[in-house]
A = this chain, B = another copy of it.
Amino acid sequence: MDGFAVRSESTNEALLTRPVTLTYGSQAEYVDTGDPLPDWANGVIQIENVEALDVDGNLATDKRNPASIRIREAIAPWKHVRAMGEDMVATQLVLPAGHTLRPIDLGAIAGSGHYEIKVSKRPRVAVLPTGTELKPIGEPVERGDIIEYNSVVLAGQINSWGGTATRYPITVDVFEAIKATVAEAVKEHDLVLLNAGSSAGSEDYSADVVQQLGTLLVHGVAVRPGHPVILGMLDADERQVPIVGVPGYPVSAALTGEIFVKPMLDQWLGRFPESQETIEATLTRKTMSPGGDDDYVRVVVGEVGDKTLAAPIARGAGVVSSLVRADGIVVFPSGTQGAEAGANVNVRLYRTREQIANTIFCIGSHDMTLDLLAQFLAQRGVRFVSSHVGSLGGLISLRRGEAHIAGSHLLDPETGIYNESYVQRYLPDTPVQIVPFVEREQGLIVPKGNPKGITSLADLQRDDLHFSNRQRGAGTRVLLDYHLDKLGIEADNISGYEDEEYTHLSVAAAVASGRADCGLGITAAATALELEFIPLFSERYEFIVPDAHTDKVAPLLELITNNNFNDQVNALGGYVRI
């Protein structure tokens, strides 16, 4: 406290009505908060409770440098004094070893008089991308080129885990070149990551390189995705330097980092591995797993009502977006065969529980505006996760309590009204609100210039055409089947009717890549991939919101009334806000 240092004994007699006067200098001395107490003093009386007097006994102008002070209360010994050792005392443990220092810890260390402490050295890790087909980020790519980004992901992981990564330039698939790069890298690093070239393909030299430069310990692990991981030790003068052959597929590469590289860094840094946050969740879909492997299944996690759900997402080892979208990982250990829908699983979370709780889970029909919604909601601190299973699939998910909201455009052929009859049929016991959102064009997506001269659904029967269809239950599929029926066209007569894609953009991508000559979809998908669009029908895309989730979905319902948002919807093309 700011005030006067005194001896408690000299204040004993002071009363409100019978003040005591203390001589400044010998009996009282001004101190600021934080100042040390003079040796002779054993208490502080706050400046507010003191009358500071000048030599004549009048109130002093400089209250902090008076001739004497008059006090009207006694103070106990050590009043307003912080004892030495209140915070820390010599030899006391400030922080245990193996602790990762936070900013406040630096304060405690410095504050307890330490200005040098021993910390673990950051392990130096070389990241070596190899592959003749690889192109550095930013260079023009041609057909067959692959953009090299695994080294960016691995280096990012290493730096975030306390290591120091060195990204090497791409080495071409030439045995001697790879060997030379590894031999060079091992000199200045504590760990070498050799990316790609670890499967059994024609350009896979990793295992041989490890064998020539040291000892190959492991070739192939029972982990999926990630199988062709290589583990070995390289001889480097006096040292033995571990090497990890990291598979080329991006998901395998990133998971190899998590599963094999991080524990090494933890060990070297003397850090007990942070246990990842886990959450118990209900699996939404039957998930098969090869019994021989530890299977790392990426899932999206949502809290719907009082249930926590884990929905498996695309499993391809090449689908990097599956890791970006993943909220967590479910591991089906070797010896198990996966799990049934409804099973309880443990999810290792990539996000906090708060982020999970703060998520709107949308399921059903795919529409391009859903990305816009995600974008705008993120700025409002709300995560928007959408899963595309078709309109009907969305209604069924709502019935099962597996989503907060569904997007749907299901035409009732008898009434010409969208969604209502389907909602009555599939959600008879669930009070819901049908929220009109957009009217959009459906039509045929064809390559630029429409080289095959397609004009109507009747053309789909042509022998020289291959069609790309949507999956059963998709509103677009319902629409197609309805019109085919009306036109008397047999599905069997359409080449490609069985090729099912799950989104408008996938259909457009099939057309863009030449896999299909046309597909049925929305304007925005054709526009996105610079394809041509032959409009056929206009339809309503609406949101189905169970009353139980109105509060959860409120930010979305508010957003779709926002002018700025609706301007951007219109800018996508082919949409009318309804």
Q: Which residues of A come within 8 Å of B, CB atoms?
A: 2, 30, 32-36, 39, 42, 64, 78, 82-99, 102-108, 110-111, 113, 115-116, 133, 137-138, 141, 143-144, 146-147, 149-150, 152-157, 160, 199-203, 248, 250, 254, 257, 270, 272-278, 314, 316, 318-324, 352-355, 358, 368, 371-372, 374-375, 377-381, 503, 505-506, 508-510, 512-515, 528-529
The answer to whether B94 touches A254 (Cβ under 8 A) is no
Q: Can you list 20 contacts pairing A with B, beta carbon distance less than 8 Å?
A: A32-B203, A39-B514, A42-B515, A85-B506, A86-B319, A89-B505, A89-B529, A92-B505, A93-B374, A103-B154, A104-B324, A106-B156, A107-B153, A107-B250, A107-B324, A270-B379, A272-B379, A275-B358, A277-B352, A277-B353
Interface of A is mostly: loop
The answer to whether A89 touches B506 (Cβ under 8 A) is yes
Give chain B residues whose Cβ lies under 8 Å from the Cβ of A89.
503, 505-506, 508-509, 528-529
Known: A371-B93, A513-B84. A254 touches B107 (CB 8 A): yes
The answer to whether A510 touches B83 (Cβ under 8 A) is yes
Considering the complex, give the chain B residue whose CB is closest to the CB of A101: B156
Considering the chains assembled together, what is the distance between the CA atoms of A156 and B103 in angstroms?
5
The answer to whether B64 touches A202 (Cβ under 8 A) is yes
Q: A98's contact among B200, B273, B378, B506, by CB below 8 Å, is which?
A: B378
Apart from the given pairs A87-B316, A89-B529, A103-B153, 8 other A-B contacts in the complex at a CB distance below 8 Å: A33-B248, A42-B515, A83-B509, A90-B529, A96-B379, A103-B257, A104-B324, A107-B153
Task: State the Cβ distance, A366 to closest chain B Cβ, in Å.
Answer: 11
Going nearest first, the 7 A-B pairs with the smallest beta carbon separation are: A103-B156, A85-B509, A93-B371, A96-B378, A110-B149, A91-B528, A272-B381
Give chain B residues whose Cβ lies under 8 Å from the Cβ of A84.
509, 512-513
Considering the chains assembled together, what is the distance between the CA atoms of A64 and B106 in angstroms?
60
Considering the complex, give the chain B residue whose CB is closest to the CB of A82: B318
Give chain B residues whose Cβ lies under 8 Å from the Cβ of A88.
321
Give chain B residues whose Cβ lies under 8 Å from the Cβ of A528.
89-92
The answer to whether A32 touches B97 (Cβ under 8 A) is no
The answer to whether B352 touches A275 (Cβ under 8 A) is yes
Considering the chains assembled together, what is the distance between the CA atoms of A33 and B35 in angstroms?
72
The answer to whether A202 touches B529 (Cβ under 8 A) is no
Considering the chains assembled together, what is the distance between the CA atoms of A264 and B108 in angstroms?
25
The answer to whether A320 touches B87 (Cβ under 8 A) is yes
